[in-house]
Structure 1
Amino acid sequence: MVERYAREEMKNLWTQESKYQAWLDVEIAAVKAWNKLGLIPHDDCEKIIKNAKFNIDRVEEIEKETKHDVIAFLTSVSESLGDESRWVHYGLTSSDCIDTANALIIRDSLKIIIKDVEMVMESVKKRAIEHKNTIMVGRSHGIHGEPITFGLVVAIWYEDLKMSLENLKTALEVVSVG
């Protein structure tokens, strides 16, 4: 992501802290699911939900030793817990954690993009209506053609945006359920 072109809202989703928070959210969701199935004691589940934390500096320090990002992360989280830490990452692989967390971040990114496209569409729609009678030179095969209205041109842009919005919504649905 090129910093100078990125909006704060989007940049914040793709920070190290956000990534590790998404990893922690996945780990906690797994703990809750195991607890619901009766495989993790309720007290341990509650302690993990309440106390599980990570420290970015500590994760980076551990990763220098382990050469494994998820092990470093899990070690940092375990340091914030007691014996209940044995249930963190229970039944999961590194890919389960990373892929699911990435899907959560992509989902949140798509929500921002969709909201922005809807805002642009609203503006484009207003311009199409505003210029419904504004005559301009039409184009056909790269040369001047019959006169058309600028409103029609802008309405076609609107339809293109509408199709793109539907594609984004489909992508959001797909990434949201794996």
Structure 2
Amino acid sequence: MIKRYSVKKIEQIWNESNKLNVWLDVEKKVTFAWMKLNVISKNEYNLINDNAKINIERMLEIEKETRHDVVAFTRAISETLGAEKKWIHLGLTSTDIVDTAQNKLIQQSNEIVLESLNSLQNTLREKAILYKETLTMGRSHGIYGEPTSLGLKFLLWFDEIQRQIKRFSLAREQIEVVKISGSMGNYANLEFEIEEIVAQEMGLGIDNISTQVTQRDRHAFLISVFANIASTLEKIATEIRLFQRSEVQEWHEGFKPNQKGSSSMPHKKNPISSENITGLSRYLRSFTNTAFENNVLWHERDISHSSNERIIFSDVFNVLVYTLERLNETLNDLVIDEDKMLEHINCQFNVFYSQPILNYLLINCDESREEIYDFIQKCTFETMNNKIDFKQSLINNNIGKYLQNISVLDEIFNINYFIRNVEKIYNRTLNK
């Protein structure tokens, strides 16, 4: 991952030193399991646990000759031991170590992802509560519709992130597993209990059935969840970008005192964070194709997945956490212009009461829907063309032929009508 988008907490997990230390931990946990089964003496296990070390430089030197990283790894750590070294890698194949360790690294990274998701969800919840009764013009197809609660936007995203967290939890359950089943996945050279002991010691689940590798549908599911999360992040970023346009200007990203928006136009304030989030979200989704193709391996295994996995897991976790944290920061610094939102509501001359009027007339008079609709539509066009209040247009066009008492219009033309059920939506969403 390039430094610009790397996250220190993730880099520390996926760097070569930590990866090899987890490999070593798996080897030690396996020797511990053999000890529990009385194959290795306690003294021999203690010697391995206390003295086995990994020297990366020595391992790389050996790998030049062996052209096999795990063989180089086991030989390098064996050089730090005495006669007890014979127990290193007993009954194992390379992927017992590599896949178990990789799944452990994924577990560690998932904890950071969860922290970032929870933090973002909390921010969205706070914004939703803050703006629950703040009116904004709702839009469909990019066109003004009816006023609505600004808070509902944040509540919608809060609820969506909550669903993403549930999906993520299921994906975690499926990927955070130990795989200690041997060369063909049939435990021929291992005792069945070894895997159970290692899983318990490492705080991981168990891969119920495997081949020489953990099946990559597990990894594909996790990355597909990340891609889904990315779609939510881009959705939020896109909304910010739309509201910051010059012709809208209802929302603005925070702009630091010495920040610059353009190299050539000093007046510019661009939604750069939201655009950055949009681009990185697209990059995140690009990992899915590779992840799904990795599930298709020859027979009990091949290594067509191995090369790309050395890259994609570090990258996907770095980019996901970076994007989550940047969006959270963007939302916390977001500037909402309530006066501009009210201005956009007022510039519609109350034409957005067309549906409440339509519904009221349908319920309270006998004319057909088609006649009433056409009458109201004619009044809305007149309202916008002549820039007169919609209520006045209705009166000018003789709405009295449908209403016995036109004073009822004063009751219908109540802006709080559009948020009358917002409290119920909040209660259902926050209390479920």
TM-score tier after normalising by the smaller chain length: over 0.9
1:6 aligned partner:
6
1:69 aligned partner:
69
Structure (1 or 2) with the greater helix fraction: 1
Residue 60 in 1 paired to residue 78 in 2? no
**1:117-151 CA distances to partner (integer Å, 9 max, x unpaired)?**
10111111101100111111112244322111110
Q: With the length of structure 2 as denominator, give the TM-score of the two structures.
A: 0.40
RMSD of aligned residue pairs (Cα, Å):
1.1
Secondary structure of 1:108's aligned partner: helix
30-39 or 135-144, which deviates more: 135-144
Aligned residue pairs total 178
Q: Following the alignment from structure 2 to structure 1, what is the Cα–Cα distance between the partners of residues 139 and 75?
A: 64
Counterpart of 1:153 in structure 2: which amino acid? Answer: K
80-89 or 1-10, which deviates more: 1-10
Asked which structure has the greater CA Rg, the reply is 2
2:170 aligned partner:
170
**1:94-131 CA distances to partner (integer Å, 9 max, x unpaired)?**
01110000000001000110011101111111011001
Q: Following the alignment from structure 1 to structure 2, what is the Cα–Cα distance between the partners of residues 114 and 151?
A: 24
Counterpart of 1:109 in structure 2: which amino acid? Answer: S
Structure 2 unaligned residues grouped into runs of 5+: 177-204, 208-432
1:106 aligned partner:
106
Q: With the length of structure 1 as denominator, give the TM-score of the two structures.
A: 0.96
2:40 aligned partner:
40
**1:50-78 CA distances to partner (integer Å, 9 max, x unpaired)?**
11110111111111111000011111110
Q: Following the alignment from structure 2 to structure 1, what is the Cα–Cα distance between the partners of residues 3 and 81?
A: 35
Counterpart of 2:24 in structure 1: which amino acid? Answer: L
Q: Following the alignment from structure 1 to structure 2, what is the Cα–Cα distance between the partners of residues 2 and 151?
A: 37
Q: 1:165: how far off?
A: 1.0
**1:137-170 CA distances to partner (integer Å, 9 max, x unpaired)?**
1122443221111100100000111111112222
Counterpart of 2:22 in structure 1: which amino acid? Answer: A
Q: Do 1:111 and 1:172's aligned partners in 2 also have CA atoms closer than 8 Å? A: no
Q: Which structure exhibits the higher relative contact order, with contacts defined as CA atoms closer than 8 Å and separated by 6 or more residues?
A: 1
2:92 aligned partner:
92
Q: 1:2: how far off?
A: 3.0
Q: Do 1:129 and 1:151's aligned partners in 2 also have CA atoms closer than 8 Å? A: yes
Structure 1 runs (4+) greater than 4 angstroms displaced: none
1:153 aligned partner:
153
Structure 1 unaligned residues grouped into runs of 5+: none
